[in-house]
Amino acid sequence: MIKQVDQFQIEFKGYLQIEKNASRHTIKSYFNDINAFTLFLESEKIFSYKDVTYLHVRQYLALLNQKEYSRKTIARKLSSLRTFYRFLGRENLLEANPFQMVSTPKLSKKLPSFMYLDEINQLLELPNHKSILGTRDRSMLEVLYASGMRVSELVSLDLTSIDLQTGTALVFGKGSKERYVPLGNYAINSLKNYLDVRLNLNPEIQEKALFLNKDGKRLSDRSVRRVVDKYVKMLAVSKKISPHTLRHTFATHLLNAGADLRTVQELLGHVNISTTQIYTHITKERLQQIYNQSHPRA
């Protein structure tokens, strides 16, 4: 077994929590990658992180390729291990970092899928506003599109997270970072309709969560995905649409309407603007389309 594995991992976990302000999901992902690498080292009779060489790293990457992991997954695993070894080096727990000379696999730039305005309008009209769950579903869809928040952020909303007077929501995002996002009139009105019937899900409810399931408990990520899937099937479009597609649609529509990239970055809760820049590729396609339709010599 790897020597001092517990000591190293405990110290690294503290580093992720305190200095990197990483979420528990991110920390779990890091340790899944580190533990998988540790098992590989033990199979190679390597029992200390200090004994790992560049050659061992290359062997591990070859194994991942052999197991047909995607480039994106390999890149993520490599990033986790690179961060771990950089931490060990900073703490003087090893002399050389075998990951310094390893390059990250090049990833193909996949443009995020988004919905056109008529498609999103049709989707938002599908829930049955005469039923309690339909009113809830319409409200969730409106909030997702109006705010661009992630599903995990949506289900973590409490009643106190929403200010209907100012039309804003306090979102608890990745890395335990909070941000305020505007909701817009459609989402606000939809929320008011939902809040009028919310208690009917369970008259004795004490749940502080904003969005509830049929039993009056906080809705889960998976439940939101099932709700979106239900209405996507009713919409009967050929493209693949997920809750995250509404986030992409939010960003795309803002940029197409003239919003600046920094504002969209702030609204999405992206740490780096490079993450937001992928949407400029979509808006460039839109600009080209408008040019081709409008210019007499296009």
Is residue 174 among the annotated active site residues?
yes
- SS3 for 158? strand
Considering the candidates 77, 136, 138, 150, report the single residue annotated as catalytic.
150
Catalytic site includes residue 150: yes
CA dihedral 158, 159, 164, 168 (to 10 degrees): -10
- 13 in catalytic set: no
Query: Which candidate in 82, 179, 218, 270 is catalytic?
Result: 270
Phi and psi at residue 176, to the nearest 5°: 60, 30
Distance CA 77, CA 31 (A): 10
Is 244 designated active site? yes
**179 given a catalytic annotation:** no
Active site residue 247: yes
Catalytic entry in 56, 76, 174, 218: 174
What whole-number distance in Å separates Cα of residue 147 and Cα of residue 124? 14
Going from the C-alpha of 31 to that of each of 21, 51, 154, 189, 264, the distances in angstroms are 15, 20, 26, 43, 31
Sign of CA dihedral 285, 289, 292, 295: negative
Rounded to whole angstroms, how far apart are CA atoms 30 and 215? Answer: 35
Please tell me which residue in 136, 247, 248, 253 is annotated as part of the active site: 247
List, by residue number, the catalytic residues: 150, 174, 244, 247, 270, 279
